[in-house]
Chain A
Amino acid sequence: DQQVKQNSPSLSVQEGRISILNCDYTNSMFDYFLWYKKYPAEGPTFLISISSIKDKNEDGRFTVFLNKSAKHLSLHIVPSQPGDSAVYFCAASDFPDDKIIFGKGTRLHILP
């Protein structure tokens, strides 16, 4: 039973355009949502997070949107850069320092 779902295994976006990565979750107890980026042979790197009391959080080129009623969140990257090519994991937890439940990831390709 997958509690965090990333339904797009891969996504290709032109350099300079907006990348939108989507994520759905099923557990209504989740209160914290995170996005991690992973390059091959490296551990996941934290990108941005949002708590359930907010619907938007922004950090530079990265913005996360949360729609609690739809149990859906998305990560927007504007503008997309070549270095953004990586696997992006959506993740969630009940409490701020609890175990994290990850999705299967979306591989983002930024095209020149």
Chain B
Amino acid sequence: DTGVSQNPRHKITKRGQNVTFRCDPISEHNRLYWYRQTLGQGPEFLTYFQNEAQLEKSRLLSDRFSAERPKGSFSTLEIQRTEQGDSAMYLCASSVVREETQYFGPGTRLLVL
């Protein structure tokens, strides 16, 4: 097992553009989580899925953000009309139901100019 993977690792975009990130969880992990980390802060929860169902969304996840996990495997996080405040590290994690350990990917660093 190669762990959680995320693509791309880095993304630079101009304000107003749309971006999409992908996360491939550890196989057989049915829970998938998205977090965002800004400088000097710990990761902050955005949303999570159990299989293909999105179970919870944070109030941090504005209408410009949408996440999907169409077949219960990989997930995508799309940000529409990016703003400079969206610049952050976007982290994906996966876990097994009823186990507390979440395993994180390397993250996607987004810079909005």
Interface residue A108 (Cβ < 8 Å from any Cβ of B): no
The residue in chain A whose Cβ has the minimal distance to the Cβ of B97 is A97
What separation, in Å, do the CA atoms of A22 and B97 have in the docked complex?
Answer: 29
Supposing A104-B40, A104-B42, A105-B42 touch, asked if A46 and B33 sit within 8 A by C-beta, the answer is no
Interface residue A1 (Cβ < 8 Å from any Cβ of B): no
Contacts of B97 in A (CB 8 A): 97
Distance in Å from the Cβ of B8 to the closest Cβ of chain A?
A: 13
Interface residue A21 (Cβ < 8 Å from any Cβ of B): no
Contacts of B28 in A (CB 8 A): none
Interface residue A20 (Cβ < 8 Å from any Cβ of B): no
Interface centre among B35, B42, B97, B101 (most CB of A within 10 A): B42
Supposing A34-B101, A45-B104, A51-B100 touch, asked if A99 and B48 sit within 8 A by C-beta, the answer is yes
Beta-carbon contacts under 8 Å, B65-112 to A: 91, 93, 95-107, 109
Number of interface residues of B (CB under 8 A): 30
What separation, in Å, do the CA atoms of A73 and B45 have in the docked complex?
Answer: 21
Provide the main secondary structure of the chain A interface.
Answer: strand
Per-residue B-contact encoding for A64-95, CB less than 8 Å = 1, 0 else: 00000000000000000000000001010100
In the complex, the answer to whether B100 meets A43 with C-beta atoms within 8 Å is no
Supposing A42-B106, A43-B4, A43-B91 touch, asked if A102 and B44 sit within 8 A by C-beta, the answer is yes
CB pairs A–B below 8 angstroms (28 shown): A32-B100, A34-B101, A41-B106, A41-B109, A43-B4, A43-B105, A43-B106, A44-B43, A44-B104, A46-B103, A46-B104, A51-B100, A89-B42, A89-B43, A96-B99, A97-B31, A97-B96, A97-B97, A97-B98, A99-B33, A99-B45, A100-B35, A100-B43, A100-B45, A100-B102, A102-B43, A103-B42, A105-B42
Q: List chain A positions with a Cβ less than 8 A from chain B.
A: 4, 32, 34, 36, 41-46, 49, 51, 89, 91, 93, 96-97, 99-105
